[in-house]
Structure 1
Amino acid sequence: MFNNKTRNQHYVSQVEQKLNCIDPSIDKKKRRIYEFESLNRDTQEYKICVEDGVKIEKNLTFNDLYSLEIFDDGTRDNFEKYFCKLEEKIEELTKEVLASEQLDKEILLTLFNAKLMNVIRNPYCILSTINTYFNLCNYTPLDQNLAHYFEKIDTLKVPESVLSEFSINQIQFTKWLKIIFYMVVPIRLSNGNYLNFAPEIIKNIFNPENICIGIHLATHDKEVCLLSDRGHVDWSAALQGDGFGYEFNLTKNAFIHFIFIENNLDNLSKFMHIPADILATMKNRGVNKIESFSLRINKFVNDDEVFKSYNSRVMYQCHNYFYAADKNFLK
């Protein structure tokens, strides 16, 4: 699974760029997307990089970013096949979420898994990824075959130019690759079963007993939404209590917004109005969380303000560049 010839390795998949490209009907190698460089995120100044767009085949990619070893025959060991297993589902899952009248939890979780991987494998999110998943850096697979590949991470010598590009050091790069390894590679346990860390983590996140979840889906018939070079918008800083949030571009005309809030009364009272007397009564009765918190999607259709706000957040949080299917967009 590790060995292939892929040198040009995307950190935002081609399929997601295709869903935002100028003309998805043309040949894969000719598809383009408009690229904009952020000049001042506070004043939202930007410029278009190439008037007729850039080819997605070579866009949002870096040579051998995830390669563990490169061989004389031109092959290399990397995570590309594991990434592809997630990516190949994105377009169909996106269509199902957009077309569905009722939420299918498994479809949503699988889509969230693929989208979250864009955050974890994004080189401009390395430090935040380490801060979130640092515990995964401290293990070595018991399976000897997997350990053979895992141990290659410690022998990598990353060029200073690469470390400088992402504002990190060698130790941080090593930790990052170890996290990616555990997030995408099924780990064989001592009992012979396999564990997929990412789906297990996501199941815990989507457990309504522990986490209250808010999901908003925005679509528009005319306006386009932007795609960030970071692969997402982080909502965590805007939340006052114990919570975190992500926004993901789905297509050129749709994005999805997730908020996850720890399900305890003191924390929830920071996000929603719970009258003091009711709060006190619930605590006196030993109730410390909301028991029946349903999982549902709130939909926004053709709401210019919602699209404008989202695009502004992409422009503010992108590393250097953002992308769109049109030169004109709400901001």
Structure 2
Amino acid sequence: MNQGTLTPSSLGAIIRNGGILPLFCIQRPDVTSLDDFINPTANQHFVSRSEQRLNSCSKDTKSKKAEIYRFSIVDSKKPIIRLEGKTQIWRNLGFQDLFTFMRTGEKDRLNFERLFEPHEAPYPEHVSSLLAMINEVRGRLDKQPKIHLKDLEGFDFERFLGHVKFIYTYKTMNWLRNPYKIKEVLKRFDTFLDHSLDKPGAHSLYLALAKKNSSEEAYICKTYGVSSKEYQQWIRLLLLFLYVDRYDDESQLDGFINEFFIAPEFSTTIFVAVFDERCALLTDTGVVKDSGNGPLTYMNVSKNCIVALEHAFVDITLDRVIREYGFDESVREQIRTRIATGVNAVLTVNSYELLGGYNNICVKAAALEVFCATPDVHGVQVLKSEQERK
């Protein structure tokens, strides 16, 4: 069955038509469909090691001992942070069996590793290709403060957009799977809780969560301040977004993201900023979600590159364009046709005022900590660690 894409309208249709089943409709399937999801990984990252390595302070960022500077939040409003020294990436931004459905043996468990991999594994390559494309064109800026990439002669905008979409999808997955965001995610998708895709493997994993180690679950819930019910609803919601089997071309998450780019009520702008001397923060919430003229996401792509992606509501953009250019209301629909589903991208280089603003936003949005490739953070007050004060 074609599952369609996971949007408020299309997911509702899938539920009505049987593509997604509520809890009381689920039948117990053949458990052999679970074999592909057995994995020994216990230390499960909600911000991948690959992403953290792109922000590492180590010379060899691919080393098992690669490190990143860690800062605790002292005052999120001012903002002020405290340097806590370096931490090894392999143990950072992860939690024991956070994404485990159930144990299947002494070392093995059913978990999300196979479902995360399609987004995690290619991430560094997409980032590398995106940065290479930016480096090729940044010399054309000359004395211009910014450049519109879609209008740039010889620039492969569709390829660029493909990389951005992949990165955006991965970052959205990070937001969905971030344990500090459990309550926020559940509230955002409350209509879709306690449902499963109408697929045998998805059913099996859904039901397997009932056999999760109770003490393991209790420790997770205590750490992140959620109830057992909230935790299980969150895991099953992740399953709804990310489950794929051998017959699927994409997950519901892929379709959900793509819908923002083709929905007629939105136009999209991608703001790319790169820096030569200073570094961007990586927040423990993975990304920063906000709203401007529509949904807005701030993303750390690497220590020297950030992207802000905004899906602006067309009606808001229309009002601004008509007001600024003095157009008559009679041409509103013509302008709408030109704006709807449009995608534009703007590149800036070494705008440190912009970097300072982004770092401020990261501190304000963090749950407990932020991370960086350097001990000094542009635009943010950094206090010395207790060890340094001694």
Question: TM-score scaled to structure 2, two decimals?
Answer: 0.75
Is 1:216 matched with 2:271? yes
Aligned to 2:138: none
Distance 1:159 1:7 in 2: 13
CA contact (8 A) 1:209 1:291 kept: no
Distance 1:131 1:282 in 2: 39
**CA offsets 1:101-133 (integer angstroms, 9 cap, x no match):** 443232222221111111111101112212233
Change (3 A) 1:35 1:98: same
1:163 maps to which of 221, 229, 234: 221
Distance 1:80 1:86 in 2: 11
Aligned to 2:28: none
Distance 1:141 1:70 in 2: 23
Change (3 A) 1:220 1:211: same
Give the stretch that moved more between structures: 223-232 or 159-168.
159-168
Aligned to 1:112: 168
Aligned to 1:280: 329
Is 1:30 matched with 2:65? yes
Aligned to 1:268: 317
Code of the residue aligned with 2:307 in structure 1: it is I
Change (3 A) 1:231 1:195: closer
Is 1:251 matched with 2:309? no
Q: Where do 5+ consecutive residues of structure 2 fail to align?
A: 1-35, 134-154, 380-390
Is 1:3 matched with 2:3? no
Aligned to 1:88: 121
Is 1:78 matched with 2:78? no
Aligned to 1:323: 371
CA contact (8 A) 1:217 1:255 kept: yes
* 3-state SS, counterpart of residue 370 of structure 2: strand
Code of the residue aligned with 1:223 in structure 2: it is R
Distance 1:154 1:202 in 2: 30
Code of the residue aligned with 2:229 in structure 1: it is I
Code of the residue aligned with 2:288 in structure 1: it is V
Give the stretch that moved more between structures: 86-95 or 58-67.
86-95
Aligned to 1:305: 353
* 3-state SS, counterpart of residue 77 of structure 1: strand
**CA offsets 1:300-330 (integer angstroms, 9 cap, x no match):** 1011101000001001111010000001121
Shift of 1:280: 2.4
**CA offsets 1:120-147 (integer angstroms, 9 cap, x no match):** 1110111221223334324223332331
Alpha-carbon RMSD across the aligned residues, in angstroms, is: 2.3
Distance 1:269 1:138 in 2: 39
CA contact (8 A) 2:102 2:211 kept: no
Distance 1:67 1:34 in 2: 28
**CA offsets 1:64-93 (integer angstroms, 9 cap, x no match):** 000000133310100012212211111110
Distance 1:133 1:249 in 2: 25
* 3-state SS, counterpart of residue 106 of structure 1: helix
1:291 maps to which of 329, 335, 338: 338
Change (3 A) 1:26 1:253: closer
Aligned to 1:173: 231
Give the stretch that moved more between structures: 204-213 or 115-124.
204-213
Aligned to 1:182: 240
Code of the residue aligned with 2:67 in structure 1: it is R
CA contact (8 A) 1:7 1:64 kept: yes
Change (3 A) 1:195 1:19: closer
Distance 1:29 1:319 in 2: 26
Distance 2:70 2:97 in 1: 23
Distance 1:2 1:29 in 2: 25
Distance 1:279 1:249 in 2: 41
* 3-state SS, counterpart of residue 218 of structure 1: strand
Higher relative contact order (CA 8 A, sep 6+): 2
Change (3 A) 1:279 1:207: farther
1:150 maps to which of 185, 206, 227: 206
Is 1:68 matched with 2:101? yes
Distance 2:248 2:94 in 1: 34
Give the stretch that moved more between structures: 177-186 or 320-329.
177-186
CA contact (8 A) 1:11 1:122 kept: yes
Q: Where do 5+ consecutive residues of structure 1 fail to align?
A: none
* 3-state SS, counterpart of residue 286 of structure 2: coil
| Structure with a larger share of its residues in helix | 2
CA contact (8 A) 1:245 1:258 kept: yes
* 3-state SS, counterpart of residue 307 of structure 2: strand
Alignment of 1:29-48 (within 5 A): 29-48=64-83
Code of the residue aligned with 1:323 in structure 2: it is F
Is 1:230 matched with 2:285? yes
Is 1:98 matched with 2:131? yes
Code of the residue aligned with 1:186 in structure 2: it is V
Change (3 A) 1:126 1:33: same
Shift of 1:269: 4.8
Distance 1:202 1:27 in 2: 30
Distance 2:368 2:190 in 1: 26
Code of the residue aligned with 1:171 in structure 2: it is K
Distance 2:277 2:194 in 1: 48
